[in-house]
Amino acid sequence: MQRLRRTKILIESGLAVCQKLSQQILQKYEVTVIVPPHNGLVMVKVRDQAEGKLFYLGEVLVTECRVQIGTTLGIGLVQDHQPKVAYHLAVIDAAYQAELPEVEEWEGQLAAAEDDLARIQAGEALTLERTKVHFSMMNIEGAH
């Protein structure tokens, strides 16, 4: 599973899922914290839809952590102040980068979590759709 997809699933699933997976690594391997969880700011780059030009929208608060398993580095980066999530993401990333045997078991768990998230998002979208105003059905006074 690609890093971007995996990280998105883990962040949206929350701390409990991240912690569950990283604990499997922490119990078996020596994990060295290279850079402890700390806050920082990153610039958010966006593309203007009208002109197609890139510009910086502003800054966003992130929490970053770097760990090492053996000689392999892992990074955890998450929006807002979430030091525990950043740490567990870094451990999981290092495990994937080191191709530890535990990561093969995680693929199914992450796919199931992704399916759960998709169902939740579909339900939320349906709820929002019900509240959508349909202007074509509105009876406008004075219009003939």
Residue 137 belongs to some domain of the structure? no
Residue 122 belongs to some domain of the structure? no
**Which strands sit side by side in the sheet containing 54-69, from one edge to the other?**
31-47, 54-69, 72-79
User: Residue 129 — very low, low, confident or very high, per pLDDT cuts 50/70/90?
Assistant: confident
- Write down the pLDDT at residue 143: 57
Average pLDDT taken over every residue of the chain? 91
Residue 140 belongs to some domain of the structure? no
- Write down the pLDDT at residue 99: 96
- Write down the pLDDT at residue 139: 64
Classified as helix, coil or strand, 68 is strand
- Write down the pLDDT at residue 110: 92
pTM: predicted TM-score of the whole model, two decimal places:
0.81
Give the range of the structural domain holding residue 92, as residue numbers without chain letter: 3-117
Q: Could you identify the residue written with the tokens 């979590």?
A: 113
Q: What is the mean pLDDT of residues 70-99?
A: 97
Residue 43 belongs to some domain of the structure? yes
Residue 142 belongs to some domain of the structure? no
Residue 7 belongs to some domain of the structure? yes
Residue-wise pLDDT tens digits, 14-55: 999 999 999 999 999 999 999 999 999 999 999 998 898 999
Q: What is the mean pLDDT of residues 87-111?
A: 95
Q: At what angle do helices 102-130 and 15-28 cross, to 10 degrees?
A: 180
CA distance 42 to 87: 18
Q: Tell which residue, 94, 71, 81, 99, has the closest CA to residue 39.
A: 81
- Position 1 pLDDT exceeds 60: yes
User: Residue 95 — very low, low, confident or very high, per pLDDT cuts 50/70/90?
Assistant: very high
- Write down the pLDDT at residue 93: 98
Q: How many domains does the chain have?
A: 1
Residue 113 belongs to some domain of the structure? yes
